[in-house]
Chain A
Amino acid sequence: MKMKKIEKWLLLEASGELSPRQLRRLERELAVSEDARILRGDLGRFRGSVLRQEFEPSPWAAAKIAARLREEHHPARTVTRGLKPALALAACLALVAGILIFHEKQVSSASVAVLAAAGSDVWNDSLEEDMSRLESQIMAISGDSLDTIEM
């Protein structure tokens, strides 16, 4: 058996994932291979040394976890959380309505301007008519063209 395979089987042996048949075969390999026995010893030492390193979370970790779970299951918060999409939708609608109203006002101002412009056109037309009428009257009185009078 190749060393790589022996290594793999030694790892599986330590985790209890070798079948009885594989275990027997591994034992046969270990009996004849010194390298395999050294590797097994090294793996054992790794494990033994690693297990001496113990780290613990802060002593109040469990209390904090319980507090967070209580907080996340708080009914008032759940209701608020449930309302969040509705509140967001309402805010969006308000924004759209605001934009529309603003736009409408702009349109109204523009309409007033257009009407004012149209009004000035109307005024100009009537003035034009008045002027033409006046011109005709002057011509009628003088029996001459307005150009000559002007000259």
Chain B
Amino acid sequence: MEQDDAKLLSAYRKGDSEALGVLVEKYKRPLFGFILRFSERREDADEVFQEVWVRAIKNMSRYRQKNLLSWLFRIAHNLMIDRVRRRKFILSLDTPVSEDGVPLGEQIADAGLGPDGATDGRELGLRIEAAASRLPLEQREVFWLRMQADLSFKEIAKIQKCSINTALARMQYAVSKLRKDLAGEYRELKETGI
């Protein structure tokens, strides 16, 4: 665990409620982004996000890992696996994920190519999002844990309870499928020099 995180957790345990706010703020984007990608609705993602933190804080005395974010992802992974098993947590392109209630599928379709036919990084990001949502669960999870949360394959393997080679193979399958799906966009990106 990073020194700052350890200090903040210790401060929270001693009654400094601000310390928890700082920690939540620090990790909210990668953690919430990850949870949201596996959630049916934004409210579900909010609920899981809170549950992850509550469980993390409650079990902090048992925690011995170095990386707090990795541990938070591990808790999130377990919670989401439970939900997937109960068939309540399946990502759908028809499901609203934005605050204005626009389904992810529509956001992606609306993004499209610009009027001059050129794509930019944001559009590619939305297309990656759409293509990644069609990946099998394990591959999708490895992809986002690596690409967004910036976790190492060693940490991902620990979260998924598999070997590093399995985690790597899942990532290779994911990348291979995405490259195939996004071949057109890549060509345009290369032509525009992005």
Contact = CB atoms under 8 A, between A and B. Distances in A.
Interface of A: 4, 7-8, 11-12, 15-17, 42-43, 45-58, 61-66, 68-69, 72
Contact of A55 (B33, B175, B186): B33
Interface of B: 17, 20-21, 24-25, 28-29, 32-33, 36, 45-46, 49-50, 53-54, 57-58, 97, 121-122, 124-126, 128-129, 146-148, 150-154, 168, 171-172, 175, 178-179, 186, 189, 194
A11 B57 contact: no
A126 B186 CA distance: 113
Given A54-B33, A55-B36, A61 B49 contact: yes
A50 B172 contact: no
B152 A8 contact: no
Given A51-B148, A55-B32, A57-B32, A65 B50 contact: yes
A61 B146 CA distance: 25
A45 B49 CA distance: 28
Contacts of B57: 65, 69
B175 A7 contact: yes
B123 to A, nearest CB: 9
Contacts of B36: 55
Contact of A64 (B50, B153, B175): B50
Given A55-B32, A61-B46, A66 B17 contact: yes
Interchain residue pairs A-B with the least CB separation, the first 8: A49-B125, A62-B24, A49-B124, A62-B21, A57-B32, A50-B147, A65-B53, A55-B33
Given A11-B153, A62-B24, 10 more contacts: A7-B172, A12-B153, A42-B179, A42-B186, A46-B147, A50-B148, A53-B148, A57-B32, A61-B24, A68-B54
Nearest to A60: B46
A8 B17 CA distance: 44
B121 A69 contact: no
A57 B150 CA distance: 19
B24 A52 contact: no
Contacts of A51: 147-148
Nearest to B45: A57
Contacts of A43: 175
22 contacts: A11-B168, A11-B172, A16-B152, A17-B152, A43-B175, A45-B186, A49-B121, A50-B125, A51-B148, A52-B125, A54-B29, A55-B32, A56-B29, A57-B45, A57-B49, A57-B50, A61-B32, A61-B50, A62-B24, A64-B50, A66-B20, A69-B58
A65 B125 contact: no
A59 B147 CA distance: 25
Contact of A58 (B25, B46, B189): B46
B24 A72 contact: no
Contact of B20 (A12, A54, A56, A65): A65
A68 B124 contact: no
A47 to B, nearest CB: 6
A75 B115 CA distance: 62
A12 B28 contact: no
B148 A17 contact: no
Contacts of A45: 124, 186, 189, 194
